[in-house]
């Protein structure tokens, strides 16, 4: 069965909601390429997540927007597939988030 990005996103939102996070679909009509989701934790931590299927790739515009957010000292994660979602949530729960790409080896 082929993974759909929508299902990957829905799983992450549900899992983080169960941990007390608010999630907002991040849509910016005048600024394409922004990450899919904005999350806010109960402690006030804010981070962005771009969701991809395991074979998905960032567009050059997405890479530019992620770079800009990081330059502004924002947390941005690119999460690949359902396994990536599970790993991200586990690392989130254990306060072990360190990389920006989760769920597949960085090339």
Mean pLDDT by 10 residues, the chain (107 residues): 81 96 89 93 93 93 94 93 93 78 49
pLDDT of residue 104: 55
SS3 content of the chain, % helix, strand, coil (to 5): 35, 20, 40
> Strand 37-40 and strand 46-52: pairing?
antiparallel
pLDDT at 95: 82
Give pLDDT, residue 56.
Answer: 92
Q: Six-digit token pair at 60?
A: 């050059």
């Amino acid at each position: 069965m082929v993974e759909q990005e929508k299902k990957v996103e829905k799983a992450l939102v549900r899992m983080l909601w169960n941990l007390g996070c608010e999630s907002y679909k991040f849509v910016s009509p005048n600024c394409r390429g922004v990450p899919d989701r904005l999350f806010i934790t109960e402690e006030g931590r804010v981070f962005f997540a771009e969701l991809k299927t395991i074979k998905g790739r960032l567009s050059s515009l997405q890479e530019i927007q992620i770079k800009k957010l990081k330059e502004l000292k924002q947390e941005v994660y690119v999460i690949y597939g359902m396994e990536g979602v599970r790993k991200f949530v586990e690392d989130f729960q254990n306060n072990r988030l360190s990389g920006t790409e989760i769920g597949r080896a960085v090339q």
